[in-house]
């Protein structure tokens, strides 16, 4: 390659890698596999070494990718959080072992750890108390996400036992367990919201949400795997981690110490097969020199420590035949295409189906019926089709064309601008939508009606006893008791559950209505602010968007719902049957208007209350929480560790700055 050609290639690779860095670290939406990214990075590094005249300090090969956001205070890491060099073969690991042995005189041991696929975190403890949690960021500084991390139950807020250093840092990964991730996606499907692609991106996005209450509801987990400080109990990395278990930290039981690279290779071979039995995502094995003294002597390059390397597993993949594409209809009418495959063994399980998500995915893959397709199961729980072997395609194969009509009711499908999915608009006559709405209404997080489940709803619907939610409250014992698999006891249990649902709080009733984009949290917000169903019915788009955390998409959905005569009739029917359509008197009695008309922003950390508790007090007393400072801001409630930019802007605009105690005095 001549110099000019090299320059063009180097510049193109830099631009492409920067774009992938942005999608991975900032948007948490990667569009390329880790392996492909690393191969491109290695190609760039090789070219830059061969053509040093094109050196650039801002090249992606010279820095660690960033996940910084503007919403959090940035904290400089006391010790840089470097990325690890990656290996994909036995030969690369043997080369690593050879390099280490050239630099170290005498015996040493390796430590092997499973490489968890989540969001990197640094936790700082002082006198046994969690002081700060910081994301990796750009490796030099990260976001202070302490409020969110405090909600993760596997992270100790106060250490157990004794023997820990007075001040130290412990690092690890925040993870989304498969079971919790599955549950979240099921809930999003019920709400008609797009499902998340994989646990890793969702953990990263959750960690940087502005509402710790939502973070807490998502049941994140954490594994810790490295301790840093001046007075650690041992020189051995492995020994320190075992000691940290006694302090209350979640340390993987699969961390092992080995005498040779041959033992390391056996460990990798074992976990390449067994990783699929774990409750969280893993994508490799990290190999470290155990002695911290030796680690310090070996040092690091600008990007990576010399004493560690990450072996990356290849995503489990297999080829099989695409037999047909079927289409499923969700509660909100969203159409999901599913590939039916010739059964194939993948990641320890037999795969017969793969999600195709939407029409764009089908078009981009260029699928034909009978194609030999590549199916992959990496971080995702549901297998996905990643490619097509076009050389094996039959010349007479028919292309997959996305349907234009609903497979259940034959209604013409619609696709709204900005939406990836197609929808069936026949809400009142499409069986899966009707049954889906009833199933949502009775679900555990909605009205939680005892005795009713999906199978019973299907049976009642097929027998013509219910055609919408209203039918539940007209059921009679003799109608239910004679049905297959049911009887007197089941009938009594169902009717008792329906009667008890009339005592469910208003926010659960509002959530149960199944208004698109109105989840549990949004329902609580609307109920707290608007008090009763009549106020919610009458609220305009502008009035709704004035409410904290209610965006334009949610507001329009609420307005559209209560513009439907059928929906208004449903609400009136439920109200007539005795379901709660207003906030309880007890909650109302605690409300005041002491902060009415005040726009208040809070920033920093507080002693008496959490940020969310303070926000709740502001709203309960008639005030409005705002997220940014402007001339309309009435007060800035400043806690500890407040961002200097907020203080500066408040002073510049003459906004009064008050403390937590000042706010409490205003409420007395």
Active site residues: 115
Using CA atoms, how far residue 490 sits from 458, 476, 487, 575, in Å, is 15, 12, 5, 26
φ, ψ of residue 306 to 5 degrees: the values are: -80, -15
Q: List Cβ neighbours of 620 (8 Å cut-off, separation of 6 or more).
A: 528, 590, 591, 592
**E strand intervals along 60-214:** 74-76, 86-87, 110-116, 119-126, 129-135, 141-143, 167-175
CB 168 within 8 A of CB 232: yes
Residue (of 165, 199, 215) closest to 280 by Cα position: 199
As a whole number of angstroms, the distance between CA 94 and CA 106 comes to 18
CB 215 within 8 A of CB 209: yes
CB 389 within 8 A of CB 432: no
CB 133 within 8 A of CB 173: no
Rounded to whole angstroms, the maximal C-alpha distance in the chain is 87
As a whole number of angstroms, the distance between CA 75 and CA 605 comes to 15
Q: List Cβ neighbours of 329 (8 Å cut-off, separation of 6 or more).
A: 335, 406, 407, 408, 424, 430, 432, 433
CB 65 within 8 A of CB 138: yes
CB 414 within 8 A of CB 426: no
Residue (of 620, 618, 621, 610) closest to 635 by Cα position: 618
The Cβ of residue 129 has, within 10 Å, a number of other Cβ atoms equal to: 11
Radius of gyration of the chain (CA): 29
As a whole number of angstroms, the distance between CA 557 and CA 510 comes to 13
Length of the chain in terms of residues written: 668
**E strand intervals along 292-430:** 308-312, 316-329, 335-346, 349-355, 372-377, 384-388
Structure tokens of 8?
A: 């063009």
Cα angle 241, 244, 250 (rounded to 5 degrees) comes to 90
As a whole number of angstroms, the distance between CA 624 and CA 548 comes to 7
Stretch (H or E) spanning 603:
strand 599-603
Alpha-carbon 325 to chain mean position: 28
Residue (of 178, 175, 182) closest to 277 by Cα position: 178
Structure tokens of 606?
A: 């507080």
Percentages of the chain per state (helix, strand, coil), in multiples of 5: 40, 20, 40
As a whole number of angstroms, the distance between CA 9 and CA 16 comes to 11
């Amino acid at each position: 390659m001549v110099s000019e050609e090299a320059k063009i290639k180097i510049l193109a690779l830099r631009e492409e890698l920067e774009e992938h860095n942005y999608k991975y670290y900032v948007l948490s939406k990667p569009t390329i596999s880790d392996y492909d990214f690393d191969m491109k990075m290695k190609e760039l590094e090789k070219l830059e070494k061969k053509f040093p005249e094109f050196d650039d300090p801002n090249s992606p090969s010279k820095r660690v990718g960033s996940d910084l956001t503007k919403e959090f205070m940035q904290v400089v890491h006391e010790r840089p959080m470097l990325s690890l060099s990656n290996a994909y073969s036995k030969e690369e690991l043997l080369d690593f072992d050879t390099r280490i042995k050239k630099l170290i005189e005498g015996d040493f041991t390796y430590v092997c750890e499973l490489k968890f696929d989540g969001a990197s975190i640094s936790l700082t403890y002082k006198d046994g108390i969690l002081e700060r949690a910081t994301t990796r960021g750009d490796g030099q500084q990260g976001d202070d996400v302490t409020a969110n991390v405090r909600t993760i139950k596997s992270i100790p807020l106060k250490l157990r036992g004794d023997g820990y250093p007075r001040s130290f840092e412990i690092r690890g990964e925040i993870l989304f367990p498969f079971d919790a991730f599955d549950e979240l996606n099921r809930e999003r499907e019920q709400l008609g919201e797009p499902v998340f692609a994989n646990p890793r991106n969702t953990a990263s996005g959750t960690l940087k949400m502005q509402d710790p209450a939502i973070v807490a509801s998502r049941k994140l987990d954490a594994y810790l795997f490295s301790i840093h400080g001046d007075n650690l109990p041992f020189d051995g990395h492995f020994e320190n981690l075992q000691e940290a278990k006694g302090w209350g930290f979640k340390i993987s039981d699969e961390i092992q110490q080995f005498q040779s690279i041959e033992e390391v290779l056996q460990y990798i071979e074992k976990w390449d097969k067994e990783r699929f039995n774990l409750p969280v995502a893993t994508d490799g094995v990290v190999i470290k020199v155990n002695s911290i003294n030796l680690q310090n002597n070996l040092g690091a390059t600008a990007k990576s420590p010399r004493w560690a390397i990450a072996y990356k597993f290849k995503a489990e993949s297999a080829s099989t035949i695409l037999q047909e594409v079927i289409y499923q209809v969700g509660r909100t009418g969203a159409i999901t295409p599913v590939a039916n495959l010739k059964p194939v063994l993948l990641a320890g399980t037999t795969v017969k189906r793969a999600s195709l998500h939407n029409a764009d995915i089908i078009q981009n893959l260029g699928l034909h019926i009978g194609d030999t397709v590549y199916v992959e199961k990496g971080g995702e729980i549901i297998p996905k089709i990643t490619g097509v072997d076009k050389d094996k395609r039959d010349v007479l194969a028919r292309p997959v064309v996305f349907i234009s009509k609903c497979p259940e009711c034959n209604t013409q499908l619609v696709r709204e601008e900005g939406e990836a999915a197609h929808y069936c608009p026949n809400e009142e006559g499409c069986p899966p939508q009707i049954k889906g709405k009833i199933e949502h209404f009775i679900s555990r997080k909605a009205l939680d009606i005892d005795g009713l489940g999906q199978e019973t709803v299907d049976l009642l619907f097929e027998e013509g006893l219910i055609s919408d939610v209203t039918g539940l409250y007209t059921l009679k014992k003799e109608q239910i008791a004679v049905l297959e698999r049911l009887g007197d006891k089941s009938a009594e249990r169902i009717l008792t559950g329906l009667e008890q649902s009339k005592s469910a709080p208003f926010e659960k009733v509002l959530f149960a209505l199944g208004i698109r984009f109105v989840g549990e949290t949004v329902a609580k917000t609307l109920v707290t602010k608007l008090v009763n169903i009549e106020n919610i019915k009458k609220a305009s788009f502008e009035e709704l968007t004035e409410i904290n955390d209610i965006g334009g998409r949610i507001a329009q959905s609420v307005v559209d719902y209560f513009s439907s005569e059928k929906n208004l009739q449903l609400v009136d029917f439920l109200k007539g049957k005795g379901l709660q359509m207003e906030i309880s008197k007890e909650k109302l009695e605690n409300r005041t208007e002491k902060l009415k008309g005040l726009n208040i922003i809070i920033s920093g950390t507080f002693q008496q209350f959490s940020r969310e508790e303070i926000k709740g007090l502001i709203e309960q007393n008639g005030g409005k929480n705002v997220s940014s400072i402007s001339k309309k801001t009435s007060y800035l409630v400043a806690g500890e560790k407040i961002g200097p930019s907020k203080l500066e802007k408040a002073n510049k605009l003459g906004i009064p700055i008050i403390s937590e105690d000042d706010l409490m005095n205003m409420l007395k």
